Amino acid sequence: MLGCCGLSLACTLPLISGSGMGFWPVAGLMLVWGGANYGLYTAALALIGDRFQAEKLTAAIAALAAVYALAAIFGPIVTGGMMTVLGAQGLFGAVAVVYLAALCGGVWLFRPVEPRWQKEVR
């Protein structure tokens, strides 16, 4: 999941600069970016299915759907504001900020932690 997020961020960054990339390089970049982006959703469903069962599985998938719905509501508002300030590159800038925040949050949440040693019961 972190790999898909990092790849999505890496594909977004060249588009922020608005460099004079040709059609085919941008098309190839968008192909990889789209695959990595939808890989995030697939990996999230796989993680949810691996960790939850029965009613908790239903609740977790409903929570994921609610997050996607909130993103669908607030995403265009934030992106439109960024485009007003930065022009066309604001779209990719807003998306890059989301990927960066998700990547940093994921690295922090999935960090290895020291095991807690429990006293043996005799």
Q: What is the pLDDT along the chain (122 residues), one digit of tens a residue?
A: 889 999 999 999 988 877 678 889 989 999 999 999 999 889 989 989 988 998 999 999 999 999 989 999 999 998 999 899 988 888 888 999 999 999 999 888 877 666 666 555 55
Cα within 13 Å of Cα(94), Cβ side: 19
Residue 1 · residue 64 · CB < 8 Å:
no
Per-position b or e across 58-85, b if 16+ CB within 10 A of its CB: eebeeeeeeeeeeeeeeeeeebeebbee
pLDDT at 109: 83
